[in-house]
Amino acid sequence: MTFSPTSMSSSLSSSDTDVASVITAPPPSYSAATQLQSRLKSFFSPTTTTPHLMGEVPSFTLPDDFDLTNQKGFKSNSWFTPAHMNSQKGIRRVSSAPNANKLLVKQQQQQQYPRPPLTPSTHSLYHQSSKEDVGSMLTFGRRTFRRTYSSASIKVKQLQVGPSSFVKIRMLGKGDVGKVYMVKQKNTDKLFAMKVLSKRVMLKRNKVKRALAEQEILATSNHPFIVTLYHSFQSQDYLYFVMEYCMGGEFFRALQLRPGKCLNEEGAQFYAAEVIAALEYLHLHGFIYRDLKPENILLHQSGHIMLSDFDLSKGSSPPGNPGVVKSTSPNLPPSIDTKCCVNNLRTNSFVGTEEYIAPEVIKGCGHTSSVDWWTLGILIYEMLYGTTPFKGSNRSETFGRVLHCDPKFSHQPAPYQQHTPSSPCKGLIRRLLHKDEGRRLGSRAGASDIKAHPFFKSVNFALLRHESPPIVPLVQLPNGIDALNFRKMPPESCSLDLEADINVSSPRSIYPSSARANTSHDDDNNNSNNDSTVKDVSGVNDNPFEKFNSMTLYHEGDSDPEFDHY
């Protein structure tokens, strides 16, 4: 877990609102008994007699090994539920992903063939993966894909832990308002990443509402490419996030340790697709990310990515209803228009990372969800070349290049020096880095526009988490307690004592009213959409952190044993 040392912000005020998480009615095109709906229904209802079972040519086909009988994801996905079944139930904003029943069966079969323990490479802590590597990795240590991602697989419970429930192992990262530690839960010995934020520093730097926004996103997200939150609570002096410990460390560090600090085009395509899936999910919930960069991407021990650090994210209140994008091919189903969910969100804050910042943010004319697609273009370029396309010797030169220059494509660094990006790849980057946000790829229908680009023609987005990642982090110990893939942090000048810190649900205010009043001036005064943050509490609330919820989140599948032993 990392913080953004180069993040910049200019802050203004906004008011609190709650983000709705349920759509009251499905899109009209799914309510009608159309031919397309009957086709889709036939594939998700195994007991129904369909034309292709009687020898006729099917309209389109699904993968042969797709297990429909055990598919919770489709069962709970309201997008493919007939209208008469949706009459009493709204559509939940979820991103269903195929369960891994078959994958787990393969794991059990592969466990009878033990593999030798991994040893660190003399050149890198990461290695290029193959199907054999991934198969071995899945059976070694943690059972990777036990989690499910349906609408009913996450439950909020009363807080069950506190600071003293954990033992601090080591510091993993440090930022301007807090630190991230590896901790071990006492009663289970399970490892977590604990993000600890200082209340005094947040008040001094006007970042209270950012912590609230981050909690809102983490507590409502249930996606394989977004870091998982398990507990959140507060003490008199600190806010705590207890999250999944990603043994692979920072994606940025993984790139830096590779030859040429880059990936080949196939690897860049894979990780870009996973980032798109995560951004699509955030936009569907009404949030724009605004700070995409390799430092904010973590690597799961399987090699798949997980987005983290949502303190610069911005939410639409309430989010709009998703639309439907009709497919131009008769063999493909329609896709979801996530642009509609963040259509009313336009903000004027100056936030982001210098080399990733979009032209409209520099101009100060306000920005929308299109900034996420600009940063995606920068990320793809950096994965291919090991540097960003507009980097200058100083901030002014960098901003000048962002506003006036186009990305240049040459041969990739060694060991890919014989290759230049393909035409679809260069075309995608150019369209993502269009200076006019209204003409940028993704400005029409969001992620659906980008997923339909020829560069991703070979990508099966629905099954990404079952594909072999380009990078598999080396893990010596099954639980990753050695933090092999993290930077060595200097000793702390003032160590946090978890045993002495007592969690409280509503701490008594210890802050002067002048300090509390500053929390209203952090972001977006001229925003056309209200922000889900604390209001000016001067004379109104004694506790500026009252809206920070203490809770425990239960994720279906996490009650299963975490580790397999030979």
Cα gap 461→453, rounded to integer Å:
13
Please compute the mean of the pLDDT values over residues 88-99 and round it to a whole number.
38
pLDDT band at 212, cuts 50/70/90? very high
Residue that terminates a domain, selected from 440, 466, 492: 466
Top pLDDT among 540 and 512 is at 540
What's residue 448's pLDDT? 93
Which pLDDT score is estimated for 304? 96
Task: Please indicate, yes or no, whether residues 265 and 370 belong to a single structural domain of this protein.
Answer: yes
Same domain, yes or no, for 454 and 380?
Answer: yes
- Structure-block tokens of residue 142: 């943690």
Record the tokens describing residue 189, joined without a space.
Answer: 């010995």
Residues 350, 435, single domain; the answer is yes
Of 459, 71, 72, 63, residue with least CA distance to 275: 459
Q: Provide the pLDDT for residue 127.
A: 55
pLDDT (tens digit, 9 = 90+) per residue, 545-557?
Answer: 988 989 898 887 6
Same domain, 309 and 418: yes
Longest dimension (CA), the chain: 77
Same domain, 316 and 406: yes
Given 444, 466, 488, which residue is the final one in a domain? 466
292-329 tens-digit pLDDT: 999 999 999 999 999 999 999 998 878 888 888 887 77
Return the pLDDT at 168.
Answer: 93
pLDDT of residue 393: 94
What's the chain's Rg over C-alpha atoms? Answer: 24
Return the exposure string of 304-333: e unless at least 16 CB atoms fall within 10 Å of the residue's CB, then b. Answer: bbbbbbbbbbbbbbbbbbbbbbeeeeeeeb
pLDDT of residue 60: 47
Residue 181 has pLDDT above 80, yes or no: yes
- 429-488 pLDDT per residue, tens: 999 999 999 999 999 999 999 999 999 999 999 999 899 999 999 888 888 898 889 988
d(Cα 410, Cα 262) in Å, to the nearest integer? Answer: 14
For residues 397 and 160, the model is more confident at 397
User: Mean per-residue pLDDT for 37-42?
Assistant: 44
Characterise 368 by phi-psi region: left (phi > 0), alpha (psi -120 to 50), beta (else). beta
Asked if residue 66 lies in contact with residue 72, where contact means CB atoms within 8 angstroms, the answer is: no
327: three-class secondary structure by DSSP: coil
Q: Scanning the structure block, which residue is given the tokens 């954990």? A: 166
Count of domains in the chain? 2
- 315 in a structural domain: yes
**Residue appearing with tokens 């926004």:** 213
- CATH value at residue 170: 3.30.200.20
Q: Does some domain include residue 436?
A: yes
Residue 58 has pLDDT above 50, yes or no: no
pLDDT recorded at residue 490:
81
pLDDT at 106: 47
The answer to whether the CB of 555 falls within 8 A of the CB of 228 is yes
Shared domain check, 254 and 197 = no
3-class DSSP string for 99-125: CCHHHHHHHHHHCCCCCCCCCCCCCCC
Q: What angle do CA 555, 556, 558 make, to 5 degrees?
A: 70
Domain identity same for 241 and 267: no
* Nearest-angstrom CA–CA distance, 33 and 38: 7
**What residue ranges in 430-555 does DSSP mark as E strands?**
471-473, 503-504, 551-555
Using one digit for the tens of pLDDT, what is the confidence trace for 369-397? 999 999 999 999 999 999 999 999 999 99
Burial class (CB in 10 A: 0-12, 13-18, 19+), 20: middle
Within this chain, do residues 319 and 420 fall inside the same structural domain, yes or no? Answer: yes
pLDDT at 47: 46
The pairing of strands 126-128 and 314-315 is: unpaired
In the DSSP assignment, the letter for residue 367 is B
pLDDT digits (tens, 9 = 90+) for 113-124: 444 444 444 344
Tell me: do 486 and 458 sit in the same domain. Answer: no
pLDDT at 159: 84
Active site residues: 291
pLDDT of 64: 53
pLDDT tier at 291 (50, 70, 90 boundaries)? Answer: very high
Tokens of 500: 């002495």
DSSP characters over 453-474: SGGGTT--GGGGGGS--SEEE-
Q: Which among 262, 267, 271 has a CA at the least distance from the CA of 412?
A: 262
193 vs 50, more confident: 193
> What's the pLDDT tens digit per position in 471-482?
999 888 888 898
CATH number at residue 296: 1.10.510.10
Shared domain check, 399 and 305: yes
Please choose, from the candidates 444, 331, 426, the residue with its C-alpha nearest in 3D space to the C-alpha of residue 381: 426
Q: Both ends of the chain: CA-CA distance in Å? A: 31
pLDDT digits (tens, 9 = 90+) for 95-141: 433 343 444 444 444 544 444 444 444 344 565 554 444 433 333 33
Closest CA to 365 of 303, 429, 437, 428: 437
CA distances from 435 to 145, 214, 259, 405, 450 (A): 40, 29, 32, 9, 17
The reply to whether 352 falls in a domain is yes
Q: Say if CB 553 and CB 242 are below 8 A apart.
A: no
Per-residue model confidence as pLDDT tens digits over 509-530: 444 433 333 333 344 444 444 4
pLDDT value for 191: 95
Secondary structure letter of residue 84 according to DSSP: G
H helices of 364-486, in order, are 370-385, 395-404, 423-432, 447-451
438: how many CB neighbours lie within 10 A of its CB?
10
Residue 361 binned pLDDT confidence (cut-offs 50, 70, 90): very high
Average pLDDT over residues 45-57: 45
Percent with pLDDT over 90 in the chain: 44
Task: Mention every residue, 6+ apart, whose C-beta is less than 8 A from residue 252.
Answer: 2, 293, 294, 295, 297
Residue where a domain stops, chosen among 466, 493, 513 = 466
**Domain assignment of residue 544, yes or no:** no
Kindly state whether residue 330 falls inside one of the protein's structural domains: yes
Q: Nearest 5 degrees, angle CA 220-CA 475-CA 189?
A: 60
Supply the pLDDT for residue 411.
92
Say if 281 falls within a structural domain.
yes
| CA-wise closest residue to 491 among 213, 170, 44 | 170
Residue-by-residue DSSP string for 157-199: E-----GGGEEEEEEEEE-SSEEEEEEEETTT--EEEEEEEEH
Q: Is the pLDDT of residue 76 over 70?
A: no
Q: How far apart are CA 401 and CA 144, in angstroms?
A: 42
In a domain, 472, yes or no: no
pLDDT at res. 114: 46
Question: Are 454 and 310 within one domain?
Answer: yes
In the three-class reduction of DSSP (H, G, I as helix; E, B as strand; rest coil), residue 277 is classed as helix
In a domain, 1, yes or no: no
What range does the domain containing 212 cover? 155-247+477-504+549-554
- Cβ atoms of 522 and 531 within 8 Å: the answer is no
Judge if 366 and 395 occupy the same domain: yes
- Buried residues in 479-505 as b, exposed as e (16+ CB within 10 A): bbbebbbbeeeeeeeeebebeebebee
pLDDT in tens, 255-274: 999 999 999 999 999 999 99
**If you average pLDDT over every residue of the chain, what do you get?**
74
Check if the beta carbon of residue 240 is closer than 8 Å to that of residue 196.
yes
